[in-house]
Amino acid sequence: MRTFFFNHIALSVKDVDESIEFYQKVLQLKEIENTASDSKTRWLSIGEGKQLHLIPRPNSEIKTDKAVHFALATTDLSSFVMFLEQLNIPYSDWLGTPNKDYIRKDGIRQVYFQDPNGYWIEINDDIR
């Protein structure tokens, strides 16, 4: 039987500099070296060896759907939500209710917001 481990997520972005700034400011991700190539793709560390790769595609159409998102967990969702409010970044629950969190059937709280390219990000308190 094979075992797989999550390694990275890659997103096409219109403006890689704007996206880097957003992810560093909002999620406090640290930029790391792109060891794969000399391209303009930039990498960010999500932690524990996991990465976010931002691939510049200034002329591509970027289609987004809330069902296609990535999720990160935090130990203090309430303070993160306050941080989003300080940055004037709109957030919502799964149903799209503005400025509201969602509590799943299993008790996990979550909020959703979008990056500059419209990609959906979920932040939850599932730190099991």
Whether the predicted pLDDT of 64 surpasses 90: yes
| Residue tagged 């560390």 (tokens) | 45
One-letter identity of residue 81: V
pLDDT band at 114 (very low <50, low <70, confident <90, very high): very high
Domain that holds residue 26: 8-56
Calculate ∠ Cα 4-105-107, nearest 5°: 85
- Count of domains for the chain: 2
User: Does some domain include residue 24?
Assistant: yes
Q: Is residue 63 part of a domain?
A: no
d(CA 105, CA 90): 24
Say yes or no: 120 and 73 in one domain.
yes
81 shares a domain with 43: no
Classify residue 102: in a domain, yes or no: yes
Q: What is the pLDDT of residues 68-111, one digit of tens each?
A: 999 999 999 999 999 999 999 999 999 999 999 999 999 999 99
* Whether residue 106 is found in the same domain as residue 80: yes
**Residue 64 belongs to some domain of the structure:** no
φ/ψ (deg, to 5) at 113: -150, 170
> Using one digit for the tens of pLDDT, what is the confidence trace for 7-62?
999 999 999 999 999 999 999 999 999 999 999 999 999 999 999 999 999 999 99
Question: Domain holding 89: CATH number?
Answer: 3.10.180.10
What confidence score (pLDDT) does residue 1 get? 87
In a domain, 3, yes or no: no
